[in-house]
Amino acid sequence: MTVLDYGSGNLRSAVRAFERADAEVTLTADKAAALEADGLVVPGVGAFAACMQGLLGVKGPEIIGRRLAGGRPVLGICVGMQVLFETGVEHGVTTEGCGEWPGTVERLQAPVVPHMGWNTVEVPSGSALFAGVEGERFYFVHSYGVRRWTLVTNDRTRAPNVIWAEHGGDRFVAAVENGPLCATQFHPEKSGDAGARLLRNWVDSL
C-alpha cells in the first residue's frame, strides 16, 4: 500500500502506524505507484486550502478519482478526509475540494474550538472498518468538520456508513465507509489500540 506524499505534515506518523498494522508501506508522490497500489492513504493536517494546493501539485484529485472509478481502495485521514468533500470554508475563504462527496467543511459551532481529545463515535451496525472497536474512543484534533451529510442514495446504490461524533453540542461526521472510499476525521495513528485495530481492519480488506 502507498501513503501519498504531497507535503502534509503527518506523513511519517501515518507510515509508521501502517507498518505497525503489518502493512508493506511506500511513501511516494509518484502517480503510477499511487494508482497501482493495493491501497492508497491520503493523510492531512493543517488548513484545507494548503492541503488541496499540495494535492493538486501531485495530481492527487485525479489519482483518487481514477482509483475509485476502478473500485480501488482509498483512505483519507483528518484533513485528508475533509478534502474529499466538495468545498472547505476557512476564515471566509471557500476552497474547492476533490468533490467525491457532497458537503462543506466548516468551522465547528461549539463553545470550545479546536476539538482536541478523545471522543466516542456513533457507529452504524455492520461496519467492517470499525469491527471490534465500535464502542471505543478515538483521538481528534480539529476546528473544522462536515456538519451535514447530504449524499442522496437510491435503490441501485448502497448507502454509505456515516459515523458521527459530537463536541460541545455540535454533531459532525467522524468517519465515512463508502465502498472503496473510507475516511476518518480523527487520527487513528494517535488513537492507541483502537486506532491500530481500525487500521488493521482496513489493511486486511485490501
Distance CA 172, CA 33 (A): 33
User: Counting Cβ atoms within 10 Å, is residue 160 exposed (0-12), middle (13-18) or buried (19+)?
Assistant: middle
Give the active site residue among 115, 142, 167, 187.
187
182 is catalytic: no
Q: Which three cell numbers stand for residue 18?
A: 501502517
142 is catalytic: no
Give the active site residue among 51, 78, 98, 182.
78
98 is catalytic: no
Give the active site residue among 106, 136, 177, 189.
189
* Residue 55 near residue 76, CB atoms below 8 Å: no
- Strands 85-90 and 40-42 turn out to be unpaired
3 state DSSP class of 176? strand
Residues acting as catalytic residues: 78, 187, 189
